[in-house]
Structure formats: structure tokens, C-alpha cells
Amino acid sequence: MKDVQAGLNVLITALSALIIFIFVRFSWQSGASQIAKNKAVPLSFILTINTPGKVLDALSILKFKLADTRKILAQCIIVVLFSITTLVSGPIARYATRITNIITHSEMDGYLSVRHHNSDGVNQVMWNLTEASLDRANFPTDQLLDYLPDTTSHWLYRQEEWNNTWSMTCQPSERTFVGSA
């Protein structure tokens, strides 16, 4: 993901620089073409501003009277706008590549787990159905359940969506022979 963000950051910076270059070049060429036709043009038609420092210089020289020179004002706006875009290209790339998760809650029938077990046939069938449902959902055998999903619905176990209140730690021991000697 970091490589995609870095690539997007470079792309935003390169596009900003290219847009500034193209706009400034176009402004200069339009004034230069007038000079080539032996027409008198104001200095503002061939003045190029392509960095934020030159914008500040133009502002200080023209004493904020840029409204009279629309070409310089347009260059200043484009340079400032795309320089700011370049400065914030890192956060733009980070938020543009952000992965979000949407959790949707859905009602699912089931039963609460209990600590006791009756050995009658109905409970044995229920246990077999529950075990088959857990196997079908790929539920891990080292987890405890405090909620048994409905055995008739097909569901899939996802660890990040499961929030058990029970936990257990097991330590295996060697088998012991029980019998008569």
C-alpha cells in the first residue's frame, strides 16, 4: 500500500508541475507571438511566473494591483493552486488509497451456549447439526462459543467478525493407561 501511495504522490506532483509549465508556456507564447508580428505588447504579456517565490515577487512589485494585468494574475493563481496541491499530495495520496471496512449487522437466529447437556436423543441430534454447521463454516476447533448460530443457515466464520466472551487455554498431556495389571 505504501508503494501505491508513493507512486500516487509522485504522479500528483508531476501533474502539478506539468500543468504549471504548460500554462506558463502558453502565456509566454501568446505574448511572444504578438512580438513576432512586430506588435507592441506590455511587459506583463511575456512575464512568466512559475514558482511561489516569483508570485511573491510579482505581488511585491505590482503592489497587489494584479487586477490590471489579468495574465499575471492568472499565472499567480495557477502557480499557487498547483503548488498547494503538490504540498498536500502526500495526504491526498494517503486518503485516496485508504481502505475502509463497512460492517453490516444482520440478524441471525441461534441459541445461547449452555454448560449442561441432556443426553436425550433431541439434544444429540442438535449437537450433530451444530457440529456440522461449525464444520461447514470452517469454525476453528480451538475456540469456544457463547452463541450457536442457526444450523439451517449457511454462514462463514471470519475471525475479525467474531467476538467471543469465552476464552480457553489448553495444554495437552500424555495418555495414561487405565486398566488392571
Q: pLDDT at position 18, please?
A: 92
Per residue, what are the HEC states of 91-142? HHHHHHCCCCCCCCCCCCCEEECCCCCCCCHHHHHHHHHHHHHHHHCCCCCC
Q: Express each pLDDT in 166-177 by its tens digit.
A: 666 767 778 777
| Type and span of the H or E element at 5 | helix 2-36
Burial class of residue 89 in the structure, from the number of CB atoms within 10 Å of its CB (0-12 exposed, 13-18 middle, 19+ buried): buried
Q: What is the pLDDT of residues 81-108, one digit of tens each?
A: 999 998 888 888 888 777 776 767 766 6
Alpha-carbon gap, residue 56 to 8, rounded angstroms: 29
Burial class (CB within 10 angstroms; exposed 0-12, middle 13-18, buried 19+) of 92: middle
Along the 181 residues of the chain, how does pLDDT read in single tens digits?
Answer: 678 888 888 888 899 999 989 988 888 888 778 778 877 777 767 778 888 888 888 878 777 666 667 778 888 889 999 999 988 888 888 887 777 767 677 666 666 556 555 556 566 777 788 888 888 888 887 777 767 777 787 878 877 777 666 666 767 778 777 776 5
Domain ranges within the chain, ordered by starting residue: 2-96, 110-161
Q: What is the pTM of this model?
A: 0.48
